[in-house]
Structure 1
Amino acid sequence: MTTRELPPVSELTEQQQRGWSCIWCRTALTVGEDRDLGEKRARPEGGAAYSWFPRACSDAAACAAREAEQAL
Structure 2
Amino acid sequence: MTTRGLPPVARLTVQQQRGWRCVWCSYPLTTGEVIDLGEQRARPAKGAAYSWFPRCCADVEACAGREAKRRALR
Q: Tell me which residue corresponds to 1:20.
A: 20
CA RMSD in angstroms comes to 1.0
SS for the counterpart of 2:69 is: helix
**In the alignment, which residue of structure 2 is the partner of 1:64?**
64
The 3 A distance-change label for structure 1 pair 2 and 19 is: farther
Q: For structure 1, which runs of at least 5 residues remain unmatched after alignment?
A: none
Task: In structure 2, give the amino acid aligned to 1:34.
Answer: V
- Identity of matched residues, %: 67
Q: Residue by residue, what CA displacement relative to the aligned partner does 1:30-61 show, whole Å, maximum 9, x if unpaired?
A: 00010000000000002100000000000111
Q: Distance in 2 between matches of 1:40 and 1:2?
A: 19
TM-score for the superposition, normalised by structure 2: 0.93
Q: Which consecutive segments of 4 or more residues in structure 1 shift more than 3 A?
A: none
Number of corresponding residues: 72
CA apart distance, 1:2: 5.0
